[in-house]
Amino acid sequence: MFAFDHEPSSTFYSMRSRLIACLVCALVLGGCDRIRETKLTGNWRCETADGVEEFSFQPDHSFRCSNTYKKVVVQPSVVEETGTWRVSGNKLVLDSITTWSKQRTKISRKLGRLAKDTVVIKSADGMTDLSYDRTSR
């Protein structure tokens, strides 16, 4: 067999164990993002006293969002955004362009509970939990 002049350092094994633990955590966390992304794919709708927000998240990470306001008159009456989306930890990251103004926006919104047909997402200002119902896959 192999002959060692000295015992392998416990520091080596400790560092190796930490490295393996970090790699496992990275794989698990990355896998969780992919699972959440798969669950988010589809069409979602949230209606509040102020208006209606609808998202369509595609498997290729493109999305479309439309906002209809009940209490405020805006032009156009339905504000639409298109762009890309991804999940990063507990955040939904959106990079979008408002279709009529061509204004680009990058935001992240905190994801809450994600079930088969319901997802909770914090409002853009981060103050309110909004419940979205799945309208189709």
Domain that holds residue 69: 36-136
Lowest mean pLDDT among 26-35, 38-47, 59-68, 125-134: 26-35
Please tell me the predicted confidence (pLDDT) of residue 17: 52
* Residues whose CB is less than 8 angstroms from the CB of residue 99 and which lie 6 or more positions away in sequence, other chains included: 80, 81, 82
Say if residue 31's pLDDT is above 70.
no
Looking at the 3D structure of the chain, how many domains does it have? 1
- The DSSP letter of residue 8 is P
**CATH number of the domain to which 102 belongs:** 2.40.128.370
Q: Which one, of 110, 76, 79, 78, lies nearest residue 94 by Cα? A: 110
Please tell me the predicted confidence (pLDDT) of residue 70: 87
**Whether the predicted model's global pTM rises above the 0.75 cut:** no
80 assigned to some structural domain: yes
Say if residue 1's pLDDT is above 80.
no
Say if residue 48's pLDDT is above 90.
yes
Banded model confidence at residue 136, pLDDT cuts 50, 70, 90 = confident
Say if residue 60's pLDDT is above 50.
yes
Please tell me the predicted confidence (pLDDT) of residue 72: 79
Q: Give the separation between CA 109 and CA 81, rounded to whole angstroms.
A: 15
- One-letter amino acid at 30 equals G
Mean pLDDT of 85-97: 95
99 assigned to some structural domain: yes
18 assigned to some structural domain: no
Please tell me the predicted confidence (pLDDT) of residue 100: 85
